[in-house]
Chains A and B, each alone.
Chain A
Amino acid sequence: MIEATGIKEIIKPENLVYRKTKIMTDNILSYCPGCGHGTTHRILAEVIDEEDLQSQTIGVSPVGCSVLLYNYIDVDIQEAAHGRAPAVATAIKRLLPDKFVFTYQGDGDLAAIGTAETIHACNRGENILIIFINNGIYGMTGGQMAPTTLPGMKSSTSPYGRDVKTMGYPLKMTDIVATLPGTYYVTRQSVNTPANVKKTKKAIRKAVQYQKLDKGTCFIEIVSNCPSGWKMTPVQSNKWMEENMFPYYPLGDLKIPEK
């Protein structure tokens, strides 16, 4: 695939302006241009690398756009059934308590079909990191309405906009899990700007530290865009996210450890 695209011709030391982190594989990402998944994968991989956790990490990938996470991050990974990643991760961490265990889930996976697994893993205070990518839509299946789709927002299964009277309200899972005693660190971030990328990376690093200290569930929501599903250019989608998603899903910490 690399040969076919001619990328190898360009990859020369004299052309290097940006280096791939070691923990990312050479596989070409399947994500659409402008999507937040690639950036999130990258900073997660950076933290695993910088904390020297490659040999200690077991990840759980979901069903959805990031189902192929295991092709991109060079750690041991289990691919879970739709929504079940927190249950899968529960057993991994209980049986291998010294390992760093994370799940990586989208909004359909975590906030619809996996609601029970998510809430109960958080309620038991499983000592895992849950990374929750919220782009308000089912990306992989072609842009259907998600539990997190905003009121009035159009999708392929809410073509006239989400009518909350018949389709319900956007579910704020992060707010819900923050109320549970089992969660230790709950935050909502984004990767739309370099500053926010840094903040998100810092949040992942904190979660790694808390997991080492056996503190309970760490939950990081990353409000993301979906240019393809939203039918926008990457730039438009970031602007739309800032103007529409952020007011409904405000960025910042929802629960931080008591000093």
Chain B
Amino acid sequence: MKKELRLMKGNEAVAEAAIRAGADGYFGYPITPQSEILEYLMEANPAETTGMVVLQAESEVAAINMVYGGAACGKKVMTSSSSPGISLKQEGITYIAGAELPCLIVNVVRGGPGLGTIQPAQSDYFQSVKGGGHGDYHLIVLAPASVQEMADFVDLSFELAFKYRNPVLMLSDGAIGQMMEKVYLSPQKERSKVFPDWATTGKPATRERNIITSLDLDPNGMEMHNHKLQAKYNEIREKEVRYEEFQCEDAEYLLVAYGTSARVCQKAVLLLREEGIKVGLLRPITLFPFPTKRINELAGQVKGILSVEMSAGQMVEDVLLAVNGKVPVKHFGRMGGIVTTPEEVVENLKSKIIGG
């Protein structure tokens, strides 16, 4: 079937893609700059077409626990929010990770800390890739850099979530969520009628009861469970790394950036190359798993690396670990809701890396 072309906001694209991916349920709570997701779904009213449940919860806390309940039934369920709301969801997210439930969480990041601002930021990186709640766990983290990717990553997220029984976080930001771009939408998928064997759907006589829990009062059992989780995360590190390279073939310097910053850096690469400076861009698409190996390889080729992120410098720590001292690594980024400009990236590469 031919893909349908539409002009949409990133937030709307996520909502439409969720319906088309055959999602069973969305549970949300309004917060800027992502409220269009809930609004779009309410207006589209997929209950009438695909049977998808859309519910406005009383809080982000309730919404993520609805996701827990739905995911534990083996259903394709999701929620979305923006930074302060994602903080509220962390309790539910760690339970979901602990109970190994598949789901999609979308974070359309805004500036913080605290109530912060409603403008775009990338300062939720640590929270997203290092766990976020209590305990040793990881989400699979996808970072879209376009409206198209916000749509495409919905289906990919569900696929990965069910493959690994692991929550997936789509780490977008206020710019990509709010901006309009053309987007090719996939055809409508049927909602699944078969459920995983672990799902709580009512115990037939033919199987033992299914229990969904993150609790094990026996520390030996809990340690075994942690080993199992870590083995899963290692498998994800092996198999699911995704990234995109832009003009890296002959690069003498490297920019590393995801999401909105990657778009800015792409322009910076062009500006620098006009000046004869050979710069490439590595855009991590998965932030967990991080493209550690590839960055390490490129560190053997380039003279220095600038990590660009709309934060005080979070991803740069993972870049430093990947580079492992081979070449100098610095961070540049605006904070608090200000989007970095390509000119600022050019200037900072020159001052911090080339001239540094």
A→B interface (CB under 8 Å): 54-58, 60, 67, 70, 74-81, 84, 87-92, 94-96, 99, 116-117, 120
Contacts and interface: CB of A to CB of B under 8 A. Distances in A.
A115 to B, nearest CB: 11
A79 B92 contact: no
A76 B211 CA distance: 6
A56 B209 CA distance: 12
B329 interface: no
A92 B211 contact: no
Interface in B243-275: none
Contact of B211 (A70, A88, A94): A70
A84 B215 contact: no
A78 B213 contact: yes
B19 to A, nearest CB: 16
A55 B212 contact: no
Contact of B25 (A58, A67, A70, A91): A91
A116 to B, nearest CB: 6
B213 A91 contact: no
Interface of B: 24-25, 27, 53, 55, 57-59, 61-63, 65-70, 72-73, 75, 77, 91-92, 95, 99, 200-205, 209-215
A244 B284 CA distance: 63
A116 B59 contact: yes
Given A60-B69, A90-B66, A91-B69, A77 B202 contact: no
B66 A88 contact: yes
B200 A58 contact: yes
B203 A55 contact: yes
Contacts of B25: 91, 94-95
Contact of A95 (B53, B62, B95, B210): B53
A116 B58 CA distance: 8
A78 B58 contact: no
B200 A81 contact: no
Contact of A74 (B55, B99, B201, B209): B209
Contacts of A55: 202-205
Nearest to B206: A55
A12 B205 CA distance: 26
B203 A91 contact: no
A18 B77 CA distance: 44
Contacts of A78: 68-69, 72, 200, 211-213
Contacts of A58: 73, 200-202
Contacts of A87: 57, 61-63, 65-66, 69
21 contacts: A55-B204, A77-B211, A78-B212, A79-B212, A80-B68, A80-B95, A81-B68, A84-B61, A84-B92, A90-B55, A90-B62, A91-B25, A91-B66, A91-B70, A95-B25, A95-B69, A95-B77, A96-B73, A99-B202, A116-B62, A117-B61
Nearest to B76: A95
A54 B206 CA distance: 12
Query: Among the interface residues B55, B67, B75, B212, which one has the most CB atoms of the partner chain A within 10 A?
Result: B212
B203 A74 contact: yes
A180 to B, nearest CB: 13
Nearest to A97: B53
Contacts of A90: 55, 62, 66, 69
Contacts of A91: 25, 27, 53, 55, 65-70, 73, 77
Contacts of A89: 69
B77 to A, nearest CB: 7
Q: Which interface residue of A70, A87, A92 has the most chain B CB atoms within 10 A?
A: A87
A116 B63 CA distance: 12
Contacts of A75: 202-203, 209
Nearest to B217: A68
Contacts of A70: 209, 211, 213
A92 B75 CA distance: 9
Contacts of A67: 215
Given A80-B69, A81-B92, A96-B201, 13 more contacts: A55-B202, A60-B69, A75-B203, A76-B202, A77-B211, A78-B69, A78-B212, A79-B214, A80-B95, A84-B68, A88-B69, A89-B69, A94-B70
A94 B27 CA distance: 11
Contacts of A95: 24-25, 53, 69-70, 73, 75, 77
A63 B63 CA distance: 18
Nearest to A30: B217
Contacts of B61: 84, 87, 116-117
B66 A76 contact: no
A56 B202 contact: yes
Nearest to B66: A91
A88 B68 contact: yes
B65 A79 contact: no
A91 B55 CA distance: 9
A92 B70 contact: yes
A1 to B, nearest CB: 13
A170 B57 CA distance: 27
A25 to B, nearest CB: 8
A95 B66 CA distance: 10
Closest CB pairs A-B (n = 5): A91-B69, A79-B213, A88-B69, A76-B200, A84-B65
